[in-house]
Chains A and B, each alone.
Chain A
Amino acid sequence: MAKVAREMVERAGVDVDQLVELLVKNAAAELTTYYYYTILRCNLIGLDGEGIKEIAEAARIEDRNHFEALVPRIYELGGQLPRDMKAFHDVSACPPAYLPEDLTDVNAILKVLVEAERCAVRGYTQICNMTAGKDHRTYDLALAILNEEIEHESWFSEFLGEGPSGHFLRRGDTSPFVSKFLK
């Protein structure tokens, strides 16, 4: 634990235990999403599915990166990951991104993907709101993750015909915002 770092956050008026619990829940959401996106990606096949596979893969890898980036902050603040992975799954801040019943329904898979990203966008917005001007390190991390989650949402939303994402897909490296926390 980073004792003074935690104390600074407490002194700024943040309920650190509450914040740590939220970070753990969001870390669980990232790791479980990584798992569920693996299954979704495998089922994105055929003329419609193949076109979406690449962004599903980018989102999958970046969600794993988010998990990796969150863990150090949880421990710095005096928290820890649950000992039992089943328990970890069940405290996730977002519902499981299950494969739809109809495996050939690419639109249904896209809806699962976009809902998962929207849940993440809400979660990191909440953490940013809690920490803005109070816990600079957690805010910086949550904002970086939020930037990537918003891009994921816009990619899937674009494929659902909800409007243009307004930007291009990744070129090469993943996690343009979060990578600084992974070095």
Chain B
Amino acid sequence: MNAGMKQFSKEALARYDGKEGRPAYIACNGKVYDVSTSFLWQKGHHQVLHQAGVDLTEALKQAPHGEDLLERFPVVGTLKSD
């Protein structure tokens, strides 16, 4: 992973919730993805069940798709571990 990438705390990530025109970022396995352009993340909501601005690593384990779909979106940083 690029060491020069922006690091997000969970609080900082939460500001990118896709609401009111804000970008929609999500985290998974330490990477932060910008999903703002996705039709499936309009207004920061995804398939009723998920909200942008959070770490979805655990949620993805229950999802009907893998992390490979996230690779379609730009990585904009890394998520700081607790």
Contacts and interface: CB of A to CB of B under 8 A. Distances in A.
Contact of B42 (A22, A90, A121, A123): A90
B40 interface: yes
A126 interface: yes
Interface in A82-127: 90, 92-96, 121-123, 125-126
Contact of B48 (A25, A92, A122): A25
A22 B47 contact: yes
Interface string B33-51: 0000011101000011100
A125 to B, nearest CB: 4
Interface residues of B, number: 11
A60 to B, nearest CB: 20
A42 B11 CA distance: 50
B61 interface: no
A129 interface: yes
Contacts of B39: 92, 95-96
A126 B42 contact: no
Given A123-B64, A126-B64, A95 B47 contact: no
Contacts of A122: 64-65
A22 B48 CA distance: 6
Contacts of B42: 90
A126 B60 CA distance: 12
A130 to B, nearest CB: 9
A94 B49 CA distance: 15
B35 to A, nearest CB: 12
A125 B63 CA distance: 9
A25 B64 contact: no
Contact of B47 (A90, A121, A123, A129): A123
Interface of A: 18, 21-22, 25, 90, 92-96, 121-123, 125-126, 129
13 contacts: A22-B48, A93-B40, A93-B47, A95-B38, A95-B39, A95-B40, A96-B39, A122-B64, A122-B65, A123-B47, A125-B64, A126-B49, A126-B63
